[in-house]
Protein backbone atom coordinates (compact mmCIF):
# COMPACT_ATOMS: atom_id res chain seq x y z
CA UNK A 1 0.00 0.00 0.00
CA UNK A 2 2.80 2.36 0.97
CA UNK A 3 4.62 1.46 -2.23
CA UNK A 4 1.62 2.40 -4.36
CA UNK A 5 1.28 5.74 -2.56
CA UNK A 6 4.95 6.44 -3.16
CA UNK A 7 4.57 5.67 -6.87
CA UNK A 8 1.60 8.02 -7.09
CA UNK A 9 3.65 10.75 -5.42
CA UNK A 10 6.56 10.54 -7.84
CA UNK A 11 4.92 12.35 -10.77
CA UNK A 12 3.92 15.19 -8.44
CA UNK A 13 7.45 15.48 -7.10
CA UNK A 14 8.88 15.49 -10.63
CA UNK A 15 6.40 18.14 -11.74
CA UNK A 16 7.70 20.53 -9.07
CA UNK A 17 11.27 20.01 -10.26
CA UNK A 18 10.06 20.80 -13.77
CA UNK A 19 8.23 24.01 -12.89
CA UNK A 20 9.12 26.72 -15.41
CA UNK A 21 10.72 29.04 -12.81
CA UNK A 22 12.81 26.13 -11.49
CA UNK A 23 14.02 25.35 -15.02
CA UNK A 24 15.06 29.00 -15.28
CA UNK A 25 16.91 28.45 -12.00
CA UNK A 26 18.80 25.49 -13.47
CA UNK A 27 19.74 27.67 -16.44
CA UNK A 28 21.11 30.28 -14.04
CA UNK A 29 23.33 27.65 -12.40
CA UNK A 30 24.59 26.49 -15.80
CA UNK A 31 25.30 30.06 -16.95
CA UNK A 32 27.28 30.72 -13.79
CA UNK A 33 29.30 27.53 -14.22
CA UNK A 34 30.30 28.56 -17.75
CA UNK A 35 30.95 32.15 -16.62
CA UNK A 36 33.32 31.20 -13.82
CA UNK A 37 35.11 28.74 -16.08
CA UNK A 38 36.22 31.67 -18.29
CA UNK A 39 36.41 34.43 -15.65
CA UNK A 40 40.16 34.98 -16.08
CA UNK A 41 40.57 34.07 -19.75
CA UNK A 42 37.63 36.16 -21.02
CA UNK A 43 36.40 38.81 -18.60
CA UNK A 44 33.91 40.27 -21.07
CA UNK A 45 32.19 36.94 -21.67
CA UNK A 46 32.19 36.27 -17.94
CA UNK A 47 30.54 39.63 -17.25
CA UNK A 48 27.83 39.07 -19.86
CA UNK A 49 27.01 35.53 -18.69
CA UNK A 50 27.13 36.43 -15.00
CA UNK A 51 24.93 39.51 -15.39
CA UNK A 52 22.46 37.64 -17.61
CA UNK A 53 22.20 34.94 -14.94
CA UNK A 54 21.62 37.64 -12.34
CA UNK A 55 18.85 39.22 -14.46
CA UNK A 56 17.17 35.81 -14.79
CA UNK A 57 16.51 36.08 -11.05
CA UNK A 58 13.69 38.46 -11.89
CA UNK A 59 12.52 36.20 -14.73
CA UNK A 60 12.01 33.12 -12.55
CA UNK A 61 10.08 35.21 -10.02
CA UNK A 62 7.80 36.52 -12.79
CA UNK A 63 7.30 32.98 -14.14
CA UNK A 64 6.43 31.67 -10.68
CA UNK A 65 3.66 34.27 -10.31
CA UNK A 66 2.51 34.15 -13.94
CA UNK A 67 2.10 30.36 -14.06
CA UNK A 68 1.15 29.92 -10.41
CA UNK A 69 4.23 27.76 -9.83
CA UNK A 70 5.53 29.19 -6.57
CA UNK A 71 7.43 26.52 -4.62
CA UNK A 72 9.63 26.30 -1.53
CA UNK A 73 12.23 24.43 -3.56
CA UNK A 74 12.26 27.24 -6.12
CA UNK A 75 12.69 29.90 -3.43
CA UNK A 76 15.59 27.99 -1.85
CA UNK A 77 17.19 27.32 -5.26
CA UNK A 78 16.90 31.02 -6.05
CA UNK A 79 18.52 32.18 -2.81
CA UNK A 80 21.28 29.54 -2.88
CA UNK A 81 22.13 30.47 -6.48
CA UNK A 82 22.31 34.16 -5.56
CA UNK A 83 24.49 33.60 -2.51
CA UNK A 84 26.85 31.10 -4.14
CA UNK A 85 27.35 33.14 -7.33
CA UNK A 86 28.09 36.33 -5.37
CA UNK A 87 30.38 34.40 -3.02
CA UNK A 88 32.37 32.97 -5.96
CA UNK A 89 32.78 36.43 -7.50
CA UNK A 90 33.95 37.87 -4.18
CA UNK A 91 36.51 35.05 -3.85
CA UNK A 92 37.82 35.88 -7.35
CA UNK A 93 38.08 39.57 -6.46
CA UNK A 94 39.97 38.63 -3.30
CA UNK A 95 42.58 37.06 -5.56
CA UNK A 96 42.81 40.16 -7.76
CA UNK A 97 42.83 42.99 -5.20
CA UNK A 98 44.71 43.78 -2.03
CA UNK A 99 43.76 43.71 0.78
CA UNK A 100 41.88 40.52 -0.04
CA UNK A 101 40.31 40.55 3.43
CA UNK A 102 37.87 43.23 2.24
CA UNK A 103 36.12 40.85 -0.15
CA UNK A 104 36.32 37.85 2.17
CA UNK A 105 34.69 39.96 4.90
CA UNK A 106 31.91 40.98 2.49
CA UNK A 107 31.41 37.32 1.63
CA UNK A 108 31.11 36.38 5.32
CA UNK A 109 28.69 39.24 5.99
CA UNK A 110 26.49 38.33 3.02
CA UNK A 111 26.18 34.65 3.96
CA UNK A 112 25.87 35.21 7.72
CA UNK A 113 23.20 37.91 7.47
CA UNK A 114 21.02 35.95 5.03
CA UNK A 115 21.39 32.64 6.90
CA UNK A 116 20.49 34.28 10.22
CA UNK A 117 17.56 36.06 8.61
CA UNK A 118 16.18 32.81 7.19
CA UNK A 119 16.62 30.98 10.50
CA UNK A 120 15.08 33.78 12.57
CA UNK A 121 12.13 33.84 10.15
CA UNK A 122 11.59 30.15 10.91
CA UNK A 123 11.79 30.77 14.68
CA UNK A 124 9.35 33.68 14.47
CA UNK A 125 6.88 31.57 12.48
CA UNK A 126 6.83 33.95 9.53
CA UNK A 127 6.12 32.74 6.02
CA UNK A 128 8.74 34.94 4.34
CA UNK A 129 12.14 36.34 5.29
CA UNK A 130 11.01 39.59 3.68
CA UNK A 131 8.36 40.13 6.34
CA UNK A 132 10.09 42.85 8.39
CA UNK A 133 7.14 45.14 9.11
CA UNK A 134 7.82 44.87 12.85
CA UNK A 135 11.43 46.06 12.49
CA UNK A 136 12.43 49.32 14.19
CA UNK A 137 14.86 50.15 11.36
CA UNK A 138 13.33 52.31 8.62
CA UNK A 139 16.11 51.33 6.20
CA UNK A 140 15.47 47.63 6.80
CA UNK A 141 11.72 48.11 6.19
CA UNK A 142 12.41 50.21 3.10
CA UNK A 143 14.75 47.59 1.64
CA UNK A 144 12.28 44.70 1.86
CA UNK A 145 9.18 46.86 1.43
CA UNK A 146 10.16 48.78 -1.68
CA UNK A 147 10.95 46.55 -4.66
CA UNK A 148 12.59 49.38 -6.65
CA UNK A 149 14.99 50.30 -3.84
CA UNK A 150 15.82 46.66 -3.19
CA UNK A 151 16.45 46.08 -6.90
CA UNK A 152 18.71 49.15 -7.06
CA UNK A 153 20.81 47.95 -4.11
CA UNK A 154 21.15 44.38 -5.41
CA UNK A 155 21.98 45.45 -8.97
CA UNK A 156 24.48 48.00 -7.65
CA UNK A 157 26.37 45.29 -5.75
CA UNK A 158 26.65 42.93 -8.68
CA UNK A 159 27.51 45.65 -11.22
CA UNK A 160 30.14 47.11 -8.87
CA UNK A 161 31.84 43.73 -8.49
CA UNK A 162 31.77 43.19 -12.25
CA UNK A 163 33.27 46.64 -12.87
CA UNK A 164 36.06 45.96 -10.37
CA UNK A 165 36.92 42.74 -12.15
CA UNK A 166 36.88 44.39 -15.58
CA UNK A 167 39.11 47.35 -14.65
CA UNK A 168 41.70 45.24 -12.83
CA UNK A 169 44.88 45.10 -14.92
CA UNK A 170 46.71 42.47 -12.89
CA UNK A 171 46.27 40.30 -9.82
CA UNK A 172 48.03 42.58 -7.34
CA UNK A 173 45.83 45.68 -7.57
CA UNK A 174 45.38 48.00 -4.60
CA UNK A 175 41.62 48.33 -4.17
CA UNK A 176 41.59 51.89 -2.83
CA UNK A 177 43.96 53.19 -5.51
CA UNK A 178 41.91 51.66 -8.33
CA UNK A 179 38.60 52.99 -6.99
CA UNK A 180 39.92 56.52 -6.35
CA UNK A 181 41.69 56.63 -9.73
CA UNK A 182 38.51 55.59 -11.56
CA UNK A 183 36.27 58.02 -9.64
CA UNK A 184 38.54 61.01 -10.37
CA UNK A 185 38.23 60.45 -14.11
CA UNK A 186 35.37 62.32 -15.76
CA UNK A 187 33.74 59.49 -17.69
CA UNK A 188 30.57 57.38 -17.84
CA UNK A 189 32.49 54.65 -15.99
CA UNK A 190 33.29 56.93 -13.06
CA UNK A 191 29.62 57.97 -12.86
CA UNK A 192 28.47 54.35 -12.95
CA UNK A 193 31.02 53.41 -10.29
CA UNK A 194 29.82 56.22 -8.00
CA UNK A 195 26.18 55.24 -8.55
CA UNK A 196 26.84 51.60 -7.75
CA UNK A 197 29.02 52.44 -4.75
CA UNK A 198 26.09 54.22 -3.09
CA UNK A 199 23.72 51.30 -3.71
CA UNK A 200 26.41 48.87 -2.53
CA UNK A 201 26.88 50.81 0.71
CA UNK A 202 23.11 50.72 1.34
CA UNK A 203 23.09 46.95 0.78
CA UNK A 204 25.96 46.36 3.21
CA UNK A 205 24.28 48.56 5.82
CA UNK A 206 21.09 46.51 5.42
CA UNK A 207 23.13 43.29 5.77
CA UNK A 208 24.56 44.51 9.09
CA UNK A 209 21.10 45.55 10.35
CA UNK A 210 19.67 42.25 9.15
CA UNK A 211 22.32 40.23 10.95
CA UNK A 212 21.84 42.14 14.23
CA UNK A 213 18.03 41.99 14.02
CA UNK A 214 18.04 38.27 13.25
CA UNK A 215 20.49 37.59 16.09
CA UNK A 216 18.17 39.47 18.48
CA UNK A 217 15.27 37.24 17.39
CA UNK A 218 17.32 34.12 18.14
CA UNK A 219 18.34 35.46 21.56
CA UNK A 220 14.76 36.45 22.46
CA UNK A 221 13.58 33.00 21.40
CA UNK A 222 16.07 31.43 23.84
CA UNK A 223 14.97 33.77 26.64
CA UNK A 224 11.29 32.99 26.08
CA UNK A 225 12.03 29.27 25.99
CA UNK A 226 13.90 29.52 29.30
CA UNK A 227 11.02 31.45 30.89
CA UNK A 228 8.51 28.78 29.86
CA UNK A 229 10.43 26.09 31.71
CA UNK A 230 8.84 25.12 35.06
**82 given a catalytic annotation:** yes
Alpha-carbon distance of 197 to 90, in angstroms, equals: 15
Contact predicate 13/48, CB 8 Å:
no
Residue 211 pLDDT level (bands cut at 50, 70, 90): very high
Average pLDDT over residues 21-29: 95
**What confidence score (pLDDT) does residue 184 get?**
94
| pLDDT tops 90 at residue 2 | no
The C-alpha atoms of residue 23 and residue 29 are separated, in whole angstroms, by 10
Residue 28: C-alpha distances to residues 71, 78, 86, 135 (Å)? 17, 9, 13, 32
More confident residue, 1 or 68: 68
Catalytic residue among 57, 82, 110, 134: 82
- Does the pLDDT of residue 75 top 90, yes or no? no
Work out the number of other CB atoms within 10 angstroms of the CB of residue 10. Answer: 9
Round to whole Å and give the CA distance between 129 and 45: 34
Number of alpha helices (DSSP H) and beta strands (DSSP E) in the chain: 9, 2
pLDDT of residue 10: 53
Q: What is the pLDDT of residue 113?
A: 95
pLDDT at position 6 over 70: no
Average pLDDT over residues 32-52: 96
The whole-angstrom separation of Cα 189 and Cα 104 is: 25
Q: Return the pLDDT at 172.
A: 86
List the one residue out of 194, 176, 196, 173 whose CA is nearest residue 185: 194
pLDDT of 5 over the 70 cut? no
Angle between helices 43-66 and 20-37 (to 10 degrees): 170
Above 70 in pLDDT, residue 224? yes
| φ, ψ dihedrals at 14, nearest 5° | -65, -40
Listing DSSP states for 123-137 in one string gives HHT-S-TT--TT-S-
Better-scored residue on pLDDT, 159 or 229: 159
Question: What is the C-alpha separation between 89 and 94, in angstroms, rounded?
Answer: 9
Residue 35: the pLDDT is 97
Return d(Cα 56, Cα 123) in angstroms, integer: 30
How high is the pLDDT of residue 225?
Answer: 86
How far from chain centre, in Å, is Cα 78?
A: 9
Reference 78, options 136, 127, 29, 13; nearest CA is 29
Amino acid sequence: MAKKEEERARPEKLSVYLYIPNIVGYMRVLLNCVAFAVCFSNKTLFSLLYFFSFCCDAVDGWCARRFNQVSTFGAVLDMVTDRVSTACLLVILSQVYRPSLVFLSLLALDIASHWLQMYSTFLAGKSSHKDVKDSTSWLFRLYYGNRIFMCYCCVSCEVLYIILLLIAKNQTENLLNVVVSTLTQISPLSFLLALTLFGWSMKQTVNIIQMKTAADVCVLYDIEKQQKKP
